[in-house]
Structure formats: C-alpha cells, structure tokens
Chains A and B, each alone.
Chain A
Amino acid sequence: MNGILVDGKAMERKGGPQVLQGEVEAECEVTVPNTEGLHSRPIMRFVDAASTFQSRIQVENLTLGHEPVDGKSAMQMMLLEATQGSKLRIQASGPDADEAVATLSALVEGGFDADATRRG
C-alpha cells in the first residue's frame, strides 16, 4: 500500500523516488489549527515559504487519504482540501529537507500568522 513502483522495483514512498545519494529526507505530521482551513492566503504563505527551499516538498492530507501533492504548487495545495483539524504530513527530500520541514510545520501550527512566516 505504502510503496511506489519505480523501474519495476518497489520503493518506500518516504523519501520519494527521486532521492539522490547524500540527500536528506525529513517528514512530520501537523494539524491545521485555523478555522478557515488552508484557504488562499495561508496556501500562498506555505507555497512561498516552500519555494525558498531546494528540497522537493510534498504534502499529504492524512485525514482524507488522497495522494500527496506538490507543496510548491498553489493549485495542488488548494486541492489538498485541508480544513480545520485536517492532519497533514509534510515530507521534504533534498539538501535542506530538515530545515524545510521545520519551517513549514511551524508555519502551519502557528496558524500562518505573519510572524511565523518571518521566523521561517
């Protein structure tokens, strides 16, 4: 269930199929606290923040169980259907993966307020 087929070989989804040697993977789970969920503005905060990292960033809505989406895409993030209380898994893979996950999870947990963005 939790694997993807790449070149005929099953790989762990964690880290994704494009992980190169020497790159880091990181992930964490967060809950969306704000009442309106991930609407336009929080999404743009998230996408803008995610785009400052080199790592590939994926976000999965664990509450709904959809496929993970690209954390740097405004459209994909809207399709995540993240409402208040949704559990999200943020995954990053790349040289700055740890930092990316830390920043982005803080952003979500902080309710996307401007200060949280700046801290990142």
Chain B
Amino acid sequence: MEIFRGISVAPGVAIAEAVVLEAEEYRIPYRTVPEGEVPREIALLDEAFHKSIEELGKQEEWLNDHLGRDAANVFEWHIGVLKDPALRSGIEKLIREQRSSAAYGASTVMRNYQRRFMQMTDPLLVERMRDVQDIERRLLRHILGESREDINHLTQPVILIAHDLTPTQTAQLANTKVVGVALDAGAATSHTAILLRSWGRPGVIGLNDISIRVSGGDLVIIDGIHQLVIANPDETTLEEYRARQTAYIRLTDELDELADLPAVTRDGCRILLHSNIEFPQEAAVGVAKGSDGIGLYRTEFLFLQKQEPPSEEEQYEAYCDAIRGAGDCPVTIRTFDLGADKYTQQRQYEQERNPMLGLRSIRYSLRNLDLFKVQLRAILRAAVHGDVRLMFPLINSLMEYRQAKMTVHDAMEDLEEVGLPVAREIPIGMMLETPAAAVQVVEFCREVAFISIGSNDLIQYLLAVDRGNERVSTLFSASHPAVLRTLRDSIRACTKAGVDCSLCGEMAGQPLYTMFLVGAGLRTLSMAPANIPEIKKLIRAVTLPQAQRVARRALGFDTDGQVTNYLRSETRKMLPGDPI
C-alpha cells in the first residue's frame, strides 16, 4: 500500500484498476494470468527481449552510419541492459511466482529501477530514468504488440494516471470509461484542473511522481475529499473506502434534492448561482444541478478540440446549443481566452518567454481581428435565440474595452448588411481579472453593462504567482488579505455604480469563501456545476448579517493563514459533518 498526497480537483471516491498513460499511451490490459498461461507469458517476454535487442542493434548500426559513433553509443547501454540475464530473470520470477502478466512484470521491474535512479543525487544519473523508461516502453511495445489499447477503447472502468494531460486530452475523458484521474503535474487552477472539475469525477493532481510509482493494473483509490491517492490498498483500507464511496453517493443524492430549491439565505436574500461551462452540452447539466444560468461559457474549447479554427456556422451551432440547453436562463458567453496555457493547435509551438504576461486573451483577439469578428458574428446571431450576454476576458485598459466593443459594432453592421437577425441590444461586459482593472473599476463601471470577477487570474497577477507552477502554486491563495481587499473594493464600486457584479473563478465554488463573498456584497456566483449543490446548501444555512460579519472579520486579518483558519471554522459551523 502506498499513499500519495496532492490537490483535489473534484470530490468523491473512485476505486478501480490503474491505467498509466505514457507518451505512447501503453495500457497494460491485465495484471495477472491463470497458472496455465505462465509459459505463454514467459515466451512473450523472451520474444520481446529478443526483438528489442534486434531492433536496437539495427538502430545503433543506422545511427553509426548516419550520425557517427557518439550517436550510436546512446543505445549501447540499452542493449547492455536488455542483455543482462539478471534483469530478464527478475521479470520471469514475477511471472512464475506471482503469475504476473509479462507486461505487468516488465513494467513493475523497470519502474523499480526508475525509482532508484530518481533518488540519486547526480543529475546525469537521474536522467538515466528516462533511458529505463525508454527500455520499458520498448519491451511493452513488443509484449503488447497489436493488443495495445488507448483510453478510447476501454471496456471496464479504470483510473487514469499520467504525468499530465493536455486540455484536449482532458476534454475527451467524458467519452471514456475513466472513473478517476491522478496526475503528477498541475495546480488547482490549471485549465486541466478546471476541465477535470467540470467533468465531475474524482481527481487528484500535483502528485509529483505517481505516474512512475504506479503500474498499469494496480488497484488504486482516489479520495477526492482528502486529496489522497492510495495504490494497492490493504483489505481494511479497501473495505473502508468502499463504505465511504457509498456514503458519498448518498450525500450527493441528498444534495441533488436541493436542485429545485432556490439559493436563498435564511433571511430571504436571493443569491444567483450560475454555472461555468466549456461545452454546449454542459449547459443542460448546469441547469439540472440547480443553477440559475450560465455565468461563464468558455468558448476557447471550440478551438482546442480541432486543428482548424471553428467556422462561423460551427460556432453559431455550438452557441445555439448552449442557449437551448440553458432553457430560459441567461447565458454569458466569453470571447476566446486563447494564449498562455490555452493555445490553438497551430500556435502551441511558438513559445513566448512569459506567456501569462504575453499575447493572450483579449489581446490575442484584438491582434487577430478576422478571427475575433467571426466569433462575434456567431455570438450576435445566436443571441437572438435567448437571454445572452457578451463578455470580454482580461480587459486591462479602457482603450482595450472600447476597441473590443467597437469590433462588436462592426460585426453587427456586417450582419445587418447581409440581412441576418442580430441581437442589437446584447449587454456587453468585461472580466475584471487584472490589478489594473481593479484599480480603475470606477471608470469601467461608467462604460460596461456588467462585471464578472475572474478570481483565478486576478489572484495570479495580484500575488505574482504562476498558478500552474507547482514550485510556487502553494503561494497562490485566495485568502491573501490583498486579494480580499481588492475583491471588497471592486464589489463595492460596482454596487455603488449600479453595475451587475459576479465572480466566476474557483473561489466561487469553494464553500470556504461563500460567506465572505456574499457578505462582501456579491449576489451572483458562477462555478462548476458540480459545486452548485454544496454552495446552495451553505447559502440556505446562513443569514445575510452572519455573512457580513464573517466578511468584516476576515478583512481584519494580516495573513492568509489566519484568514483560511477563520473561514474554515465559520464554514464548518454552518456545514457540520460536510468535508470542507
């Protein structure tokens, strides 16, 4: 049994066999074999060693002829390792004594070696881990041959373990049998994490090296509540978790019953809970979970799924689907937030030195006006069919906002010229997610129809912490007093100006901050659909004066640790028994 601690992206418990996704996406289909199959597995292993050595020999020869001796030498050690009788017999022993499949045995042994190299101090030797990985993959390729599978063809529920997933890979999970995810990389607010959260299955990220510590076929428990992953649990632990899984499902069912009830404080203050969505199909899910609308439709995922930029018609269809899915509820469509960690397929290889401060989001759109106008036309046409609002991301100056708004008017004129119906009166707003925008919020309030606070980016820029960098991600804290004060001032300015204000970052879905946000004056929160029931339960348990008192007290602390401790104890009082 081995326990890993990370950052949870979605609550719940998942128990299943692991599939370790490598760059080459090998999946070990079975872990043990019946007694009678042992000779066959040993034959497979021998064959794999034989073929691997042969293949490497040819490769070495080719490299020697074409690139010279030094290049060829790289694989000399690989051949040496494969020819080492002790290695082969170590794997054979696992097959004979534990009835391992050849693939599982090879993977287990090679991963043990990878681990030992990782613990070494000499950086050159640590790098040998990659070589061992390479040898492992070569063996697996020969053992699994045609039978290697990818995650799209799973026949039974599995837990997916990988170093990292791209947003595109994550987006595909919904169509697979994957029941939980554990990743080496990642921070709570990365886009992969956001996608995992919207997918709603248990997931833990930021586990450092789980992808080499767990082999395909190992039994794995993901505990999204305590942010743990347990590999090869003992009987007692497994039993305990089966019970917890049942209990969690019961709690979820209980929360689902809240779906039809409004989010109202005990003294009657109505709070609107909106959903953040990535895909048009999610709009209906959000509404089913009891949301009052779509507060953030992240359109850039239309881009990330395909090689080509989506056409006006494709976008129009997607937006219409989302609007239909939301029924009579309002839908806030945010224009493309591309760049930084979300690239189009074409752009992802053009590196920027500091992408978070680079050509991203509205800056990217304003620099690519053709692409921007196509999107605006599609939104303006779709908006005719519902209660739609248009929102620009990362607005940092009034000039940017004005230019973006002017582009909307250009798009309207284009459409009217060809006689297409247009939502002329569409409310246009912005995301407040840079310190500059927060400082100028009063000026912005004179020009925008609404403001949505993007707390993830706002915190990142305010605290100068890259939320995706695991080395500093612990410094990323919504409890930082500077964050709380900025939020209070922004909300206050909007309220005073009569501008509709909401918050759509991760904070909105974390029960820890609900009382603070409501107490500070927010009446609309937008979050992943999965978080809505719990936030609703909390809102229905408090009164407005209670929330206001919590907000006032929270603003009085000097450090984020004090703030977090205080908010946690206040939240626990409201939700006794629930994991916070």
Give the B-binding residues of A (Cβ under 8 A).
Answer: 36-37, 39-41, 43-44, 47, 70, 72-76, 78-79, 81, 83
Contacts and interface: CB of A to CB of B under 8 A. Distances in A.
A79 B113 CA distance: 8
Interface residues of B, number: 20
Contact of B74 (A40, A74, A75): A40
Interface of B: 73-74, 76-77, 80-81, 83-84, 86-87, 113, 116-117, 120-122, 124-125, 128, 131
Nearest to B86: A73
B76 A40 contact: yes
Contacts of B124: 36-37, 39
B120 A81 contact: yes
Contacts of A74: 77, 80-81, 83-84
Contact of A41 (B73, B125, B128): B73
The 7 closest A-B pairs by CB, nearest first: A74-B80, A40-B77, A74-B81, A73-B84, A75-B81, A44-B76, A44-B80
B113 A75 contact: yes
B77 A44 contact: yes
B68 to A, nearest CB: 14
A78 B128 contact: yes
B171 to A, nearest CB: 40
Interface of A is mostly: helix
Nearest to A76: B86
25 contacts: A36-B124, A37-B125, A40-B73, A40-B77, A40-B131, A41-B73, A41-B77, A43-B77, A43-B80, A44-B76, A44-B80, A47-B80, A72-B84, A73-B87, A74-B81, A74-B83, A74-B84, A75-B81, A75-B84, A75-B86, A75-B113, A78-B117, A79-B116, A81-B120, A81-B125
Contacts of B80: 43-44, 47, 74
Given A36-B124, A41-B77, 11 more contacts: A37-B122, A37-B125, A40-B76, A40-B131, A44-B80, A70-B86, A73-B84, A74-B83, A75-B86, A78-B128, A81-B121
A28 to B, nearest CB: 24
Contacts of A40: 73-74, 76-77, 131
The residue in A37, A47, A75 that gathers the most chain B C-beta atoms within 10 A of its C-beta is A75
Contacts of B122: 37, 81, 83
Interface of B is mostly: helix
Contacts of A36: 124
Contact of B77 (A76, A78, A79): A78
The residue in B76, B113, B121 that gathers the most chain A C-beta atoms within 10 A of its C-beta is B76
Contacts of B76: 40-41, 44
A11 B116 CA distance: 29
Contacts of A39: 124
B139 to A, nearest CB: 13
Contacts of B84: 72-76
A75 B73 contact: no
Contacts of A70: 86
Nearest to A74: B80
A43 B83 CA distance: 14
A74 B88 CA distance: 12
A6 B36 CA distance: 35
Nearest to B120: A81
Contacts of B87: 73, 75
Contacts of A83: 122, 125
A36 B117 CA distance: 16
Contact of A78 (B73, B83, B125): B125
A17 to B, nearest CB: 17
The residue in B74, B81, B87 that gathers the most chain A C-beta atoms within 10 A of its C-beta is B81
Contacts of A79: 113, 116-117
Nearest to B132: A75
Nearest to A83: B122
Contacts of A37: 122, 124-125
A8 B364 CA distance: 75
B76 to A, nearest CB: 5
Nearest to B125: A81
The residue in B80, B87, B113 that gathers the most chain A C-beta atoms within 10 A of its C-beta is B80
Contacts of B120: 81
A40 B125 CA distance: 10
A44 B122 CA distance: 19
B433 to A, nearest CB: 48
A87 to B, nearest CB: 16
Contacts of B121: 81
Nearest to B76: A44
B135 to A, nearest CB: 9
A70 B116 CA distance: 16
B168 to A, nearest CB: 36
The residue in B76, B77, B86, B87 that gathers the most chain A C-beta atoms within 10 A of its C-beta is B77
A37 B116 CA distance: 18
A43 B81 CA distance: 11
A17 B488 CA distance: 75
The residue in A47, A78, A79 that gathers the most chain B C-beta atoms within 10 A of its C-beta is A78
A36 B73 CA distance: 15
A76 B74 CA distance: 18
A37 B124 CA distance: 9
A74 B87 CA distance: 10
A75 B122 CA distance: 16
A73 B87 CA distance: 9
A115 to B, nearest CB: 16
Nearest to B77: A40
Nearest to B110: A75
Contacts of A81: 120-122, 125
Nearest to B131: A40
A47 B82 CA distance: 13
A38 to B, nearest CB: 9
Contacts of B81: 74-75
